[in-house]
Amino acid sequence: MGMLGAAALSLAAIASPLHAADLAERMSPPEATIDVAAKSPWQIRVRGLGVITENSGFVNGIPGSDLSFSDTVVPELDISYFFTDNIAAELILGTTYANVTADGSIAGLGKVGKTWLLPPTLTLQYHFTDLGAFKPYVGAGVNYSLFYHQSGTGAFTDLDVKNTLGAALQVGFDYMLDDHWGMNFDVKKLFLEPEWKGTTGGGTLTGKAKLNPWLIGTGVTYRF
């Protein structure tokens, strides 16, 4: 074979694995183009919600008149959409009721009625994302409360609380257990002062119910 042939065989033996390695590298996709699943922008929460009212109001034309309202605990669902990691919109859905009781100078009337309300609330939130699993947020938005299934009691034969638009403020946090599941604590303040009227044997009374409730909730978060 001679020295020239032996050298050619040696070069071929060296070039063969180098060529195979180069071919494998060319065929594999660049690291930057490897597909990574994007995080879903949707999130839901299920909470137990305490509704704590301000207990204030009045009857027009009756000095010293006041109203009080029952507090409740109800289930609540909210749906969030994240426009970015920091900015999200949240819609809360739930329904509750309030027993309305006369107070102040009209306390002798006792319970005057009951109303159910559906208070859908939409807030725009800012989420802080640099604290690891602890993810606090603040928000502000609007509430439109729908009053339904209303009834008068005692001296009132009828009760009509008007649907009302108001503002909402919010603060809360999620503590994420993994990429999807977390625990949530949330506080909202609704500014809710609807007009109302009630029918009695002596005619119609009108006034304002200053509910202005605190919504204090805790529950489970799921990020899709």
Distance CA(64)–CA(108), nearest Å, equals: 13
State how beta strands 134-152 and 42-52 pair: unpaired
Q: Which letter, b or e, does each residue of 136-171 get, where b requires 16 or more Cβ atoms within 10 Å of its Cβ?
A: ebebebebebebeebebbebbeebbbeebebebebe
Q: pLDDT class for 34, splitting at 50, 70, 90?
A: very low
Token couple for 74:
């109800």
- Cα-Cα end-to-end distance for the chain: 69
pLDDT in tens, 146-161: 999 999 998 899 999 9
Average pLDDT over residues 95-114: 94
pTM: 0.81
Query: DSSP label at 131?
Result: S
Whole-number pLDDT of residue 104 = 96
Calculate mean pLDDT across residues 38-58.
95
Distance of CA 161 to the CA centre of its chain: 25
pLDDT tens digit sequence for 8-18:
455 455 555 54
Distance CA 20, CA 22 (A): 5
% of the chain exceeding 90 in pLDDT = 79
Closest by CA position to 149, among listed 161, 157, 164: 161
Q: What is the pLDDT of residues 62-80, one digit of tens each?
A: 999 999 999 999 999 999 9
Q: Is the pLDDT of residue 7 over 50?
A: no
